[in-house]
Amino acid sequence: MLFQSSPLTNNPAPLPLPKQSSQTHCPKLNSSLPVANEDKPILLLWFWPENYYFDFSDCKTFYGIDGCELTDKRSLYSSADAVLLFHKAISWDLSNLPPSPRPPFQKWIWFNVESPTNTQKKPGLENLFNLTLSYREDSDIPVRLRLTTNKKAEDFEIPKKEKLVCWIVSNNIPHTGVSARNRYFHDLNKHVYVHVYGKAYGKFLDYKDYYSTIASCKFYLSFENSLHKDYITEKLNGPLAVGTVPVVMGPPRKNYEKFVPGGAFIHVDDFPDAKSLAEYLKQLNTDDDAYHRFFNWRKHLSARPHLIQQNQEFILAICTACDHVGRHKEYREAHDIYEWFFN
């Protein structure tokens, strides 16, 4: 799913070399962490999203978040201040939800970083939650890595470029959004060569090579798998962070400009067809001054990459929830989450 939500943007520490996906984190590591801290609320992670485990200490290490006691111990349910429930893991008959009655002081958080296209409407969940956690800006807890402001102008050195256009893609399952981006890619590839990596086209790219590959390209296809308001993922943030111009396909340009300067990216909607876009990219390849203007924003703004791990958006989401629970004690109810999310 990734820009940084506002509590996370104050003087972010540089990211150390992240763990690679080959390293499996055992949930016992997290269960052994202390949870009885009177100064911090307890946030109970009811499901590990996609059965992907990470060290809860990563919240502090990578994002500077230490405002709650994160735990996966279900035995602490009755004393947990909030419970984080991953939508995709909830069974259709709701039989794997926490037990009733719910402690009256406890908040349930609906956790979903997928778009409506990729979200199943499971009946009976509409009015169970206090808070929503998603990519949507109007969520109670929006999840996004954001650009940060530099008070002093800084020089940015554009990395050496070896390729013109690149794309890393792992999913080409034919639903509406994926089919649209695949059609556009094939059209574009007729007029300008695109270096393609990822499982969708049989060229697996190791996670440790992810950002260096993007940095080696002048342009990167930041094509979302579905088109929805605010559904702008790490596909945009990655190239911005490493010094590559993203070519975006997703919600309208105005939606992107809520999060990044308009001069930092190219939108496919700015061109009548893929051939016109290809001609523009080839033109920029011969005009260094015009290409360098796409990085003027780097004088006063900075971008940071996600952790280079599989399902890295889950880490940011869970840590963001921890930050919110630690800062907000007020009572909330989220009424009919489906009416809100699917409309």
Angstrom distance (rounded) from CA 168 to CA 164: 14
- The amino acid at residue 125 is L
- Tell me which H or E stretch contains 178: helix 176-189
Active-site residue, from 38, 50, 69, 114: 114
How would you classify residue 94: left for phi > 0, otherwise alpha for psi between -120 and 50, otherwise beta?
left
> For residues 108 and 82, is the Cβ–Cβ distance under 8 A?
yes
Active site annotation includes 114? yes
DSSP label of 146: -
Which of 121, 11, 40, 30 lies closest to 315 in space, CA to CA?
30
- Tell me which H or E stretch contains 245: strand 245-249
DSSP label of 271: S
Contacts of 230 (CB under 8 A, 6+ apart): 135, 136, 137, 251, 255, 258
- The alpha carbon of 9 is separated from its chain's Cα centroid by a whole number of angstroms, namely 15
Cα–Cα distances in angstroms (integers) from residue 188 to residues 42, 233, 239, 278, 303, in the given order: 50, 22, 19, 6, 28
Beta-ladder partners of 86: 111
**Known catalytic residues?**
114
